[in-house]
Amino acid sequence: MTSTMLLRPQPRPEILAIDAYVPGKSRVAGVAKVHKLSSNESPLGASPKAIEAFRNCVGDLALYPDGSASALREAIGSRFGLEPSRIICGNGSDELFALLAHAFLPPGDEGLYSEYGFLEYPICIRAAGGVPVIGKEIGKTANVDAMLARVSGRTKIVFLANPNNPTGTYLSFAEVKRLQASLPPECLLVIDAAYAEYVQRNDYGAGIELAATCENVVMTRTFSKIHGLANLRIGWAYGPLHVIDALNRIRGPFNLNGPALAAGVASLADAAHVERAIEHNARWLPWLSQEISALGIEVTPSVTNFLLLRFDESRGFGAKEADAFLSAHGFILRSVAAYGLPDCLRLTVGDEEANRGVVAALGEYMRANRG
């Protein structure tokens, strides 16, 4: 380190060890029309009721929002049968992950997550001064035994995305309960259920029951996916009063803006819009999986609104080349090399035009590269 560097403010070393989160691209130079299938956004968009509520806030832009998010917490509580006092709202789930790590992970202790878990988890762990620890996955699915094998006396927080992004796989509720029962009582289990509404499996549970009955479990949810409100950044968490109290002590006093609060309440009141989004996904997810598999591309079985596609470079078609080809044809997918999956791309379920178009483009790419 030079003497010049010593004479200026220095971030903590663990901050410089963080690989910053890089969002997926949303534009392609020289391509007029693109279908953005990289960010797991809802192809149906936001509820008309949410849009109207957002617009109705224009006259209040000079006023501070409700710092306690009381109306939104009441609406969430009513929708899911939860105690509003045990709900906290955040600027997306990301803020809640950071707050949880900040509050419950002492510097030098460990935060555990699965091998292909959401990249925000290690960022939050390192930012809190903690040490990221990875539990190996089997078949691109979190494995309870592998995660428990990495638990030590220093493990203070465990992040579990269920279903997981970017793989689309999930753990049964029985397995999640087994994980919780095997963790030390002083270790906090954070169940990230961002894609819960899409899951159509009888053995799945979002984690509400555990968060309601256990002192060391928090469940997080989001309005960014099924509700189509990603631009407004609305997340929420449900857990024990002592956990929610700690988070409220350190969150920003007005961490959600007024239009977001209003749109969130209105979206919860539009059950029909959510149901249409579920039905759309239930129709197109299996169609995409079947059509893409038939092209010779490996598709990881998914319960979410996206698919993980694996390209076999040894057979003449790689993920990087496929990404470039699809982008040039107006279809933006998500590179997941940063997750340790350099041979894969993630594809979000889009509208009918995008879904049929991307399958056709993938077919063209595969035919052109089979030699």
- The reply to whether 92 and 234 lie within a common domain is yes
Q: Say if residue 364's pLDDT is above 60.
A: yes
Which one of 216, 249, 269 terminates a domain?
269
Q: What is the pLDDT of residue 15?
A: 85
For residue 124, is it within any domain? yes
Question: Would 331 be classed as within a structural domain?
Answer: yes
Averaged confidence pLDDT in the chain: 95
Shared domain for 240 and 117, answered yes or no, is yes
Q: In this structure, is residue 11 part of a structural domain? A: no
Phi-psi bin for 30: left (phi > 0), alpha (psi -120 to 50), beta? left
Same domain, 232 and 276: no
Statement to judge: residues 180 and 265 lie in one domain = yes
Residues 198 and 167 in one domain: yes
Q: How far apart are CA 149 and CA 146, in angstroms?
A: 5
Domain of 246? 48-269
Q: Provide the pLDDT for residue 371.
A: 54
Domain boundary among 269, 291, 319: 269
Domain boundary residue, one of 253, 269, 285: 269
Are the C-beta atoms of 345 and 335 separated by less than 8 Å? yes
Whether residue 18 lies inside any domain: the answer is no
Number of folded domains that form the chain? 2
Reported as a single tens digit per residue, the pLDDT across 69-123 is: 999 999 999 999 999 999 999 999 999 999 999 999 999 999 999 999 999 999 9
Asked if residue 29 has pLDDT above 80, the reply is no
Let me know if residue 1 belongs to a domain: no
- Residues of the chain above pLDDT 70, percent: 96
Residue 182 and residue 89 share a domain: yes
What are the structure tokens assigned to 248, written together?
């409220």
Query: In this structure, is residue 5 part of a structural domain?
Result: no
| CATH number for position 336 | 3.90.1150.10
Question: Domain check: are 251 and 297 in the same one?
Answer: no
Structural domain contains residue 4: no
Question: Would you say residue 242 has pLDDT above 60?
Answer: yes
Would you place residue 26 in the very low, low, confident or very high pLDDT band (cuts 50, 70, 90)? low
In a domain, 88, yes or no: yes
